[in-house]
């Protein structure tokens, strides 16, 4: 008998715990007055439900014009809802009419910034390089880019689900420092606003592939701690099925994030997860 056979097995590392993130992307909805009313109601609803924000983080992504009002409310009432922006300029300052810089957003206590949403890739011609530069601008200013990736219906047919998201993430990472904190949102373009979400199995398959990219490019620690969200027709009836998947750690919600009760139920998914 050799020594190895008599040695006790080395202790297994405990499974990595990632705090789930439920994020509401309001897109171009709600003026600043509607935004204040919404966030107040959301906070009441989650308070009634005794929501544990340490267990499930909740973030809202209002339009730029609402950010100052929402920030003031969150700070005055000490509400633990995180604030996010929907876009950022890749530039620090200067003659960029219409752009908003990362440092301006940081001053508003913005924690997250969505970059590379398909509505900007498609509608505003943003390519992988622009997305990477925006992610870098967010990270350099001390915020966390939420990097959106996802395939179109044609991509899905031609390349399968994971190839394009993997390519988009790989391209974005080339612009980011090795230790930059990021969140990834897998949003199949065909599932956004269509009422036809990806199956949990497909979302998990892509989530696993994206985590493998992180593992190859950034190592185990980054791969294990980075949160990967699912987005695309997310709702309270389906969120639990995504959250059961080992490589999915939250949701980036569009339409359903505009209804207080529905978004609150999504944030409380732990109450409707059955293992």
Q: Which range in 14-22, 29-37, 167-175, 230-238 contacts ligand 13P by CB under 6 A?
A: 230-238
Instruction: Choose, by CB under 6 A, the member of 122, 193, 219, 246 that binds ligand 13P.
Output: 193
Q: Rounded to whole angstroms, how far apart are CA atoms 184 and 146?
A: 5
Output the CA angle 82-240-150, nearest 5 degrees.
70
Euclidean distance between CA atoms 248 and 9, whole angstroms: 30
Instruction: Rule CB under 6 A: say whether 139 interacts with ligand 13P.
Output: no
122 binds ligand 13P (CB under 6 A): no
Catalytic, out of 57, 117, 126, 175: 117
Rg from Cα positions in the chain:
19
Identify whether the C-beta of residue 211 lies closer than 8 Å to the C-beta of residue 228: yes
Say which residue the tokens 């044609």 belong to. Answer: 154
| Of residues 226 and 233, the one with the C-beta less far from ligand 13P | 233
Residues 150 and 169: their CA atoms lie apart, in Å, by 10
* 232 lies in the binding site for ligand 13P (CB under 6 A): yes
- Kindly state the smallest distance separating residue 16's Cβ from ligand 13P, in Å: 25
Residues 21 and 12: their CA atoms lie apart, in Å, by 27
Specify the residue, 114 or 139, whose C-beta has the smaller distance to ligand 13P. 114
Query: What is the Cα–Cα distance from 144 to 183, expressed in whole angstroms?
Result: 7
Nearest residue (CB) to ligand 13P, 222 versus 254: 254
Q: Of the candidates 233, 247, 264, 268, which one interacts with ligand 13P according to CB under 6 A?
A: 233
* The one segment of 28-36, 41-49, 240-248, 253-261 that binds ligand 13P by CB under 6 A: 253-261
Active site residue 187: yes
Of the residues 57, 126, 187, 204, only one is catalytic, namely: 187
Stretch that binds ligand 13P, among 6-14, 41-49, 217-225, 226-234 (CB under 6 A): 226-234
The span of 34-42, 49-57, 252-260, 265-273 binding ligand 13P (CB under 6 A) equals 252-260
* Ramachandran sector of residue 77 (left: φ over 0; alpha: ψ -120 to 50; beta: rest): alpha
For ligand 13P, give the closer residue by CB, 176 or 253: 253
Question: What are phi and psi for residue 80, nearest 5 degrees?
Answer: -85, 25
The SS3 assignment for 118 reads helix
> Is 126 annotated as catalytic?
no
Q: Which two tokens stand for residue 126?
A: 């943003």
**What residues make contact with ligand 13P under the rule CB under 6 A?**
25, 117, 187, 192-193, 231-234, 252-256
* Residues involved in catalysis: 117, 187
């Amino acid at each position: 008998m050799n020594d190895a056979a008599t040695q006790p097995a080395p202790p297994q590392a405990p499974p990595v715990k990632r705090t789930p993130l439920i994020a509401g992307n309001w897109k171009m909805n709600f003026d600043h007055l509607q935004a204040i009313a919404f966030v107040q109601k959301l906070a009441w609803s989650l308070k009634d439900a005794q929501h544990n924000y340490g267990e499930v983080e909740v973030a809202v992504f209002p339009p730029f014009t609402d950010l100052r009002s929402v920030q003031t409310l969150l700070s005055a009432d000490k509400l633990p809802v995180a604030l996010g922006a929907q876009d950022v300029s890749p530039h620090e300052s200067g003659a960029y009419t219409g752009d908003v810089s990362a440092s301006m957003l940081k001053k508003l206590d913005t924690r997250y910034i969505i970059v590379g949403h398909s509505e900007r890739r498609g509608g505003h011609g943003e390519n992988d390089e622009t997305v990477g530069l925006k992610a870098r601008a967010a990270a350099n200013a001390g915020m966390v880019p939420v990097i959106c990736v996802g395939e179109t219906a044609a991509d899905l047919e031609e390349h399968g689900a994971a190839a394009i998201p993997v390519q988009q993430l790989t391209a974005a990472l080339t612009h980011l420092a090795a230790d930059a904190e990021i969140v990834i949102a897998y949003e199949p373009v065909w599932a956004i606003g269509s009422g036809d979400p990806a199956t949990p199995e497909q979302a998990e398959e892509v989530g696993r592939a994206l985590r493998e990219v992180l593992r190859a490019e950034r190592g185990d620690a980054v791969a294990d701690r980075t949160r990967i969200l699912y987005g695309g027709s997310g709702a309270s009836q389906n969120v639990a099925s995504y959250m059961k998947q080992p490589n999915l750690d939250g949701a980036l919600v569009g339409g359903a994030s505009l209804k207080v009760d529905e978004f609150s139920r999504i944030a409380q998914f732990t109450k409707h997860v059955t293992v």
